[in-house]
Structure 1
Amino acid sequence: MYHLRRLLVATDCTERAQRAEVRAAQLCQQHGIADAELLTVREGAEPDILAMITNTDVDMAREQAATQASLELERRAGMLKDDYGVEFSWHVRFGKTATEIAQRADEIDADLLVIGAHGGNFFSDLLLGNTADRLAHLCRRPLLVVKNGPRQAYQRVLIPVDFSEESHRASQVALALVPDAEITFLHAFEVMFEGKMQYASVPRDVIDHYRMKAREEARTDLDRFIHAVNPENRQAGSAIVFGMPGPAVRDYSKSIQSDLIVLGKHGKSRFEDMILGSVTRDTLEQTECDVLVVPSGDRGLGIS
């Protein structure tokens, strides 16, 4: 079972970044978490630039920049405590954003890392650049990308699955993280060699027969999967759709107006990481709701 005990929020201290901070505070409140931290990463070259502008030495400039950032984090932590009764500590680092965030998550053994997306084109307008994309590859901990201003706890959660161990792990995390949400498991299937059959002018009824058979097999596999990941028999919906995973997730999420999508991230090889990465990028870029990416392996997952 997944246990959410320690949470890290990476923020760039902008107004839009408050979405992630507020969602994190809500999760802390819902799960009774008392160990949470706000982290901001300043560019490594900032002290050098500041020192040149103010005609001071680099160490003093670094201290000034850290102090300024700490004061802002303290202010934000105070607002979160006032609004949600949650205590946040804070930390400032200098360097490459994604690398420093991932390292800090390892240092404090975070069970969940939360960052904010700014909207628009996800990868051109993301918190501190394409930080989420890099973090999804660097970080071995669940990564929650918050796109929307949270008004309530997550209500409708979509879990795309491919029956892999990664999907199993992501489902465990989702069921524990959002115990009161409406859960839907989604599997997208395709018919092997359908394109070649169409090219060879195989009759439509023959192709439909293979598609129906593939759907039935997918339904059986999905029912078995849900039973395995949901031992408490929590009520959950399921859907089988024909098509490629990326577009299927996007379209089905829109149809049910999900407010969270939970994806399992592969990574046993460069090829697998690239394939899942394309689905993850499509989901992050083309869907409007928040996205939780759960990595492979059990490091930082708090699963027992």
Structure 2
Amino acid sequence: MNFKAILVLTDFSAAASAALDRATLLAIEHRATLTLMHAAEPGDTAPSNAAVRLDQTARQLAQRTGLEVFARYASGDALAAIAAESDRVDLLVVPHRRARGLAAFLHGPPALRIARVCRCPMLVVKAAARERYRRILVTVDFKAFSQSLVALACTIDRLSEIELFHAISLRDDARLRAAEASYQAVLAYRRRVRQVAQQRMFALSDSFQARRNRMLMAIGQGDPARQALVQQEYAGADLVVVGKRRRPAWADALFGSVAQRLLAWAGCDVVVLPHDPRPSTRSAARDRLHRALRGGRAALLPGSRRGA
């Protein structure tokens, strides 16, 4: 996994500014191209000069950083435009916004709606981007997909500390107590489950020994989302990595998910990896650049001027 092309959504708000700052730091670190996209929320009216401001922001950023920066203005169905553009990049960066109105209640907050239609990793920025991530908390359940979550964390920042976190379910524990198992039997079961979790944690971390990241491990008990929040605050992690299955809005509203609760409650940035991610490729990013250059929409290369 590698980041060659990054897409960041903006509406020129303070939250969008923080997302742009983080996307810029990541683009510099990975030497990736950066695409700025303006997409108004359903029901919101875009500023009349949004396209001009977007072009100016992209041009100034290209001149200041030396990055390849592109501007993309979405009109019409914003969600469809975001999904289409995200198919051409390796990482989508979005500002954190709280849910508003009845539509938000039915369909979830903006980040969750975007996560349902995008197949690339999505980074939701909640905090100001002053420096690179120091510690990344990765929520794992030891299924095969956990490997992808850890690989994503290592890709985001190759120098940050990686902490693997697993929350042991208490459902079987409750069944034992309901079956009137002895206290000693319950304790023995807890020790055995924790031992198995530790062994699986070691096996998962050993598969990434070649990485330069320092890898730590932690195990909790109880609700995965709540325990992950507790561990994030305790460890001081400034990024949480979580997976999410693709489900319709009604299923998220009815059953919820760990990703949904972390997006709502976490006090740090959250990156969501779909369970059916689109493989990131260098050719996909290059194809996007060539299409933009041929279309002449807003391909802003460092030091270049439109029409030069």
What is the TM-score normalised by the length of structure 2? 0.80
Match of 2:234, SS?
helix
Q: How does 1:187-266 map to 2 (within 5 A)?
A: 187-232=166-211, 234-266=213-245
- Distance in structure 1 (CA, Å) of the matches to 2:68 and 2:188: 58
Match of 2:74, SS?
strand
Q: Could you list the per-position Cα deviations for residues 124-146 of structure 1 after superposition, in whole angstroms to 9, with x for gaps in the alignment? A: 499xx822111111111110000
Match of 1:36, SS?
strand
By how many angstroms is 1:84 displaced? 3.5
Q: Could you list the per-position Cα deviations for residues 1-48 of structure 1 after superposition, in whole angstroms to 9, with x for gaps in the alignment? A: x11001111112223210110100000111112x211001246888xx
Aligned AA (1:31)? H
The alignment's C-alpha RMSD in Å is 2.9
Match of 1:17, SS?
helix
| Corresponding residue for residue 97 of structure 1 | 78
Q: How does 1:167-182 map to 2 (within 5 A)?
A: 167-182=146-161
- Distance in structure 2 (CA, Å) of the matches to 1:36 and 1:196: 51
By how many angstroms is 1:243 displaced? 1.3
- Distance in structure 2 (CA, Å) of the matches to 1:44 and 1:199: 49
- Distance in structure 2 (CA, Å) of the matches to 1:39 and 1:233: 33
Aligned AA (1:165)? A
| Corresponding residue for residue 31 of structure 1 | 30
Match of 1:148, SS?
coil
| Contact 1:97–1:131 (CA under 8 A) maintained in structure 2 | no
Closer/same/farther in 2, CA of residues 4 and 78 from structure 1, 3 Å limit: same
| Contact 2:4–2:90 (CA under 8 A) maintained in structure 1 | yes
- Distance in structure 2 (CA, Å) of the matches to 1:251 and 1:224: 24
Answer yes or no: is 1:123 the counterpart of 2:102.
no
Greater shift, 70-79 or 281-290, is seen at 70-79
| Contact 2:8–2:36 (CA under 8 A) maintained in structure 1 | yes
| Corresponding residue for residue 41 of structure 1 | 39
| Contact 1:110–1:300 (CA under 8 A) maintained in structure 2 | no
Answer yes or no: is 1:299 the counterpart of 2:278.
yes
Closer/same/farther in 2, CA of residues 208 and 226 from structure 1, 3 Å limit: same
Closer/same/farther in 2, CA of residues 286 and 189 from structure 1, 3 Å limit: same
Closer/same/farther in 2, CA of residues 276 and 289 from structure 1, 3 Å limit: farther
Aligned AA (2:6)? L
Aligned AA (1:74)? D
| Corresponding residue for residue 70 of structure 1 | 51
| Contact 1:117–1:147 (CA under 8 A) maintained in structure 2 | yes
| Corresponding residue for residue 295 of structure 2 | none
- Distance in structure 2 (CA, Å) of the matches to 1:233 and 1:227: 12
Unaligned runs of 5+ residues in structure 2 are: 283-308
Match of 1:16, SS?
helix
What is the TM-score normalised by the length of structure 1? 0.81
Greater shift, 186-195 or 253-262, is seen at 186-195
- Distance in structure 2 (CA, Å) of the matches to 1:117 and 1:201: 46
Aligned-residue identity in percent: 27
- Distance in structure 1 (CA, Å) of the matches to 2:31 and 2:6: 11
| Contact 2:112–2:260 (CA under 8 A) maintained in structure 1 | yes
By how many angstroms is 1:95 displaced? 2.3
- Distance in structure 2 (CA, Å) of the matches to 1:44 and 1:179: 37
Aligned AA (1:185)? L
